């Protein structure tokens, strides 16, 4: 059942603003970073106004309040993704830091010469570069599962790319360029059959659909707060307890230790051994508020809304002359539409649309290898979220027709 999108839009103050005088904002860049509802802004403001203190270290009242709120946010996130316990939730700076943590902690301990790491051709740089750095250091090899021209993983070749040498298969649940919704459970299961671990880039899935890490049986999963109505500066790494327990600390300093001497240190328990220094307290509280907000909408309803908007957008955009959509049909993709228009550079498209108050993305979207695979230098991308309306899609389509006129393509 769909919710009332107009009522949802009231919750986001920025959606009522004008980009230029008389030009209202049409925000179609949520895959890069979503907007924030009032409840998230107020939760962080309340913390700073009424209970700011450092966590875990103080016995005074403010520290106790801050600690309760911070650890409460962790428990909220754990429930949201179906983790067995809050201790499996590591607060990191963003999804990128989550991948780097696993690469530098688990990877340095478990990857050696001759080992293989399997990725896919549709990955974000955050799920490529940390593994390239690790492979270069350790003498390991990275392989890439191919992508078809219409945006699907070549699953019938999966057995050719997974072997007894594979130590990790790390992949996106949803492509941030193609929008492809991958068969996550099937990919996790395939990795486990050869004894490899499975890590999921959930930056484009957790904000948009229900995710249950226990049902998926993934070993690691990472996502960012700022793409799911939460603040910037914080993300989540989920890991199975036995893996996190065995991994050495990623960063050293305060709070990640139980004891320090001049001769060495004893690391703290989970999850704190991976959260060195003063943590992202306000940001965690904001993320917790964002999760509560999304839960109030119901993630099945969020996904249904985005599917409806995306299907409508794909149909509307296909009517723009010279426009080529990237990725699979609407029922196999998340809430975004990347495209090119013959004769127009994506940055020119974005610049013309901005004059109409329409915010889209233009460039390689931190997926240069995928664009190279598709024979492109860049693409334009409109992305949708809980607050996107059909009317905004209509404005996008009209503006693209205008862009063609501006550059005399009509």
C-alpha torsion sign, points 42, 39, 393, 364: positive
396 near 28, Cβ under 8 Å?
yes
276 near 66, Cβ under 8 Å?
no
DSSP string, 137-159: HHT-EEEEE-B-TTS-B-GGGHH
3-state helix, strand, coil in the chain (%, to 5): 45, 20, 35
Spatial CA neighbour of 124 closest among 56, 223, 27: 223
366 is catalytic: yes
User: What is the distance between the alpha carbons of residues 251 and 248, in angstroms, rounded to a whole number?
Assistant: 9
Count CB-CB contacts under 10 A for residue 39: 15
**3-class secondary-structure state, position 275:** coil
The catalytic position among 39, 154, 158, 366 is 366
User: What is the distance between the alpha carbons of residues 246 and 400, in angstroms, rounded to a whole number?
Assistant: 53
User: What is the distance between the alpha carbons of residues 11 and 320, in angstroms, rounded to a whole number?
Assistant: 33
Both tokens of residue 179?
């929008």
Q: Count of alpha carbons within 13 Å of 43, Cβ hemisphere only?
A: 26
CB contact set of 300 (below 8 Å; sequence gap of 6+)? 209, 210
- Any bridge partners for residue 168, and if so which? 117, 197
Q: Which residues of 197-233 are buried (b: 16+ CB within 10 A; e: fewer)?
A: bbbbbbbbbbbbbebebeebebbbbbbbbbbbbbbbb
**Which residues does the annotation mark as catalytic?**
366
């Amino acid at each position: 059942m769909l919710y009332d999108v107009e009522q949802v839009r009231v919750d986001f103050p920025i959606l009522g603003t004008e980009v230029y005088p008389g030009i209202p904002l049409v925000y179609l860049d949520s895959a890069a970073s979503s907007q924030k509802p009032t409840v998230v802004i107020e939760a962080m403001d309340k913390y700073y106004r009424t209970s700011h203190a450092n966590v875990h270290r103080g016995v005074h009242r403010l520290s106790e309040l801050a600690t309760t709120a911070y650890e409460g946010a962790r428990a909220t996130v754990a429930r949201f993704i179906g983790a067995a316990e809050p201790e499996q939730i590591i607060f990191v700076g963003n999804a990128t830091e989550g991948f780097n943590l696993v690469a530098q902690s688990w990877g340095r301990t478990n990857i050696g010469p001759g080992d293989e790491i399997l990725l896919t051709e549709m990955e974000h740089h955050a799920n490529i570069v940390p593994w390239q750095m690790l492979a270069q250091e350790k003498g390991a090899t990275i392989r890439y599962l191919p992508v078809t021209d219409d945006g699907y993983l070549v699953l019938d070749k999966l057995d050719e790319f997974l072997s007894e040498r594979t130590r990790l298969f790390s992949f996106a649940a949803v492509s941030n360029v193609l929008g492809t919704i991958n068969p996550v459970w099937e990919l996790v299961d395939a990795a486990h059959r050869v004894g490899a671990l499975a890590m999921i880039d959930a930056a484009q899935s957790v904000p948009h659909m229900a995710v249950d890490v226990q049902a998926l049986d993934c070993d690691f999963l990472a996502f960012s707060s700022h793409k799911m109505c939460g603040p910037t500066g914080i993300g989540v790494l989920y890991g199975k307890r036995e893996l996190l327990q065995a991994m050495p600390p990623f960063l050293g300093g305060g709070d990640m230790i139980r004891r320090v001497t001049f001769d060495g240190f004893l690391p703290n328990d989970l999850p704190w051994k991976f959260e060195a220094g003063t943590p992202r307290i306000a940001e965690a509280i904001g993320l917790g508020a964002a999760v509560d907000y999304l839960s109030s909408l119901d993630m099945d309803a969020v996904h249904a809304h985005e599917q409806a908007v995306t299907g409508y957008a794909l149909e509307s955009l296909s009517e723009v002359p010279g426009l080529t959509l990237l990725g699979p049909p609407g029922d196999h993709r998340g809430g975004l539409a990347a495209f090119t228009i013959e004769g127009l550079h994506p940055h020119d498209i974005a610049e013309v649309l901005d004059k109409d108050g329409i915010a889209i993305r233009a460039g390689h979207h931190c997926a240069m290898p995928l664009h190279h695979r598709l024979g492109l230098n860049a693409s334009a991308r409109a992305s949708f979220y809980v607050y996107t309306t059909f009317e905004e899609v209509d404005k996008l389509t009209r503006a693209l027709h205008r862009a063609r006129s501006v550059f005399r393509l009509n």
